[in-house]
Each structure stands twice: as structure tokens, then as C-alpha cells.
Structure 1
Amino acid sequence: MVTKDEVEKVVKSVVDEKFIKSIGVDDKGNVTVTLARDTPDIDNVLIKLHSEIGKLEGVGLITINREREEKTGEGENVQLTEELILEKLKEVIDPEIGIDVVNLGLIYDLQIRPDNTVYVKMTMTTPGCPLTMWILRAVEDKILEIPGVKDAEIELTFDPPWSPDMISPEYKKKLGLY
């Protein structure tokens, strides 16, 4: 089982200690790291952290968060709906394919919790997608742009694996898959 000390050592080798807000390791080896909002070169840091932590023995799920700006009173009367969130997520385009994450069929589950935290379970087109961290961050950022959203939780899964069958009918026609 991975220890907090092992994870801490790896995290500090990747990012300056002043940008580390918290590091947690639970009894299943799941790792949670929270970084400061102003962490420089955040995209590369996220990718490198995920890669380096993943090399440790006994690591479960790896979650890397960025510190949130506290929203006060913003959008408290806004009615969040799945449709509203999915429309916003259509702004996240997979740069390699040129189709948004919704029409690609990458969004498996979306829930709006009573405290207005939005939970998304999603996948990538391949487990080795080099843009995984970028796409996950873009999904989180788009959700957090919606007035009334308190927080976003993004879970990455590869079960079931993505296939072209998951592309929306409209985009299957555009791609000539029908």
C-alpha cells in the first residue's frame, strides 16, 4: 500500500511546495492532491503528477484538484439541469477528433447533487489518450463557469471502454458512420 510520505515525496519533486495545498491517501491507496489556483504551468504539472504518482506501488484512484475560489451568493436561484450542463459541455472539443465530449459519447453519467455540486463520470476514446488531463480539466472548468454550480467532481473510467458506437447519431451521419 502506498504511503502519504511516498506520495508527498513524488509531488514535491514535480511541483514547488508552496503550491501544494493538501495531499491525502486513504486506506485503499486512493490519492488526492490539491494544488493552488495559481500553480504555474498547471497543464504540464497535472500530466506529470498523474504519471509520476501512477508509478508508485499500491496506488488506487488518483485525483488532482485545484484550489477553488469561494463563490458567495452567485447564482443561488439558478435552476441547474442536466440539459444546461450538457449544452455547456458541448463547448469541450476533443482537439484530435474535432467533436465535443457529449456527441462523442464520453459522458457516461451526470448528477446534480443537492448542494449544487455536479458529478460527471466520463471516459476517453483510448486509455492512453495524451490529452486526458487537458480534457478532464476543460470539462471541470466549463461546469464551474455555470452560475449556481458549487463544485465539480469528474471521475474518469474505462468501464465500459469507449467505442465509435457511442457517438451521437447526428455525428455518426456527419462522419459517414451510418
Structure 2
Amino acid sequence: MMANKLQGVTKGQQMPLQRDVEAISIPFGKSVTLNEDAVVQVMQAMGSSVSVALEGRLYLVEGHQLDALGLSSVPRPTLDEHASDDEIEAFIWEQLRTCFDPEIPVDIVELGLVYGCRLDTLISGERVVNIRMTLTAPGCGMGDVIAEDARHKILGAPQISKVNIELVFDPPWSRDMMSETAQLELGMF
């Protein structure tokens, strides 16, 4: 399923920050603070996140931080503390479907980038998510950003203590791994 664009946000729109906000730097995947009153330009608003440009650099602002842009925040996804393993796994996949390559308006599941996802319970009772995913090309610089976005969203569930994301390139990604919906969205049919 394709995620919709955020309401009230258009590409190229200039927005002054209403407060300091933590963002993920693109393509490095590191958390940084953007300062109040800085004026950012919207590059993409898909799923629950907005990609913005500031002083020639790109950043990803997560949904629960959108009030910094003067928008309604999207509550950080979470689960009931008594959720079953099946409910936790469904939550993980739901969160992966809200993650986008900042350059492509299709979520990473529909793009066929997620090769596998496993929920493990350790002896201590902690639950760890292990994800195997790829990128559209081995040289794609967005891997760290996508991985960090997925990690932040999945860690919204209190039952999950850690998310490990392994980038793999075997088998290499091809457009055949995309869903029909994604191919149609990108005009590749």
C-alpha cells in the first residue's frame, strides 16, 4: 500500500521552524538539531515524515516533530504493552511502510527493499528486531537515512528494545522486486 502525502504540505514550500527540532541528516543518517527560526524548504512530504532543505543540506523531520514546522504532529506510533508477537510483527511492517527513500515517493516495502524481518526474544525477555534490506543501488547514499528512520519508528513500540538493520546486496535489487503498485506509481509499467 502506498502512503499518502501529508496534508497541507507542498514541495518547494518555505517554512520557518517554530522551535528547535531534532532531524536526521541526509544522507548521513545522524541526528542533528535544526534551530528555531531557520527557514527550511520542503523537498518531499510522504508517509509521516517531511524531507527539508536548509543551507544546501537535506534533513528528515519525523512525524511526531512536525509541530516544529507549524503542522499538526503525527503521534509517534506505539503498541499496547500486552500486544502479542503477531501484533508486534504487524506493527513493524506497518512502520516499514511509512519509510521512504528521500528521493523516491514509494515506501521501502513496495519498492522491494526489505528482504526479511525477524522478531527475536532474548533470554532476558527483551525483543530485538532484525531486518535485512537492500538499496536500489550499492552506491545509493540513502541507506543510513532509511535505516535510521525505520529504527526510530519501530522503537515506538515499548516491547522492542533494539532494532538491527543489515544492508545486503545479494541478491541485487532490480525493478522486478517492486510491487505492481510501486511500478505504476513510478511509471515503470
TM range (shorter): 0.5 to 0.7
The aligned counterpart of 2:160 is 149
> CA offset at residue 116 of structure 1?
1.7
* Structure with the larger helix share: 1
The aligned counterpart of 2:138 is 127
Secondary structure, aligned partner of 2:172: coil
Distance 1:175 1:89, change over 3 A: same
CA RMSD of aligned residues (A): 2.7
Structure 1: runs of 5+ lacking an equivalent: 1-39, 49-73
Secondary structure, aligned partner of 2:148: helix
The aligned counterpart of 1:112 is 119
> CA offset at residue 170 of structure 1?
1.7
Structure 2: runs of 5+ lacking an equivalent: 1-21, 31-78
Aligned residue identity for 1:143: I
Aligned residues: 114
Aligned counterparts, 1:35-114, within 5 A: 43=25, 76-81=81-86, 82-114=89-121
* Structure with the larger strand share: 2
Q: Deviations over 1:76-101 (max 9, x none)?
A: 41224333211111111111111111
- 4+ residue stretches of structure 1 with deviation over 6 A? none
> CA offset at residue 163 of structure 1?
0.8
Larger radius of gyration: 1
The aligned counterpart of 2:176 is 165
Q: Give % identity.
A: 38
Judge conservation of contact 1:103–1:168 (CA < 8 Å) in 2: yes
| TM-score with structure 2 setting the length | 0.53
Judge conservation of contact 1:144–1:152 (CA < 8 Å) in 2: yes
| TM-score with structure 1 setting the length | 0.56
Secondary structure, aligned partner of 2:150: helix
Cα distance between partner residues in 2 of 1:93 and 1:138: 9
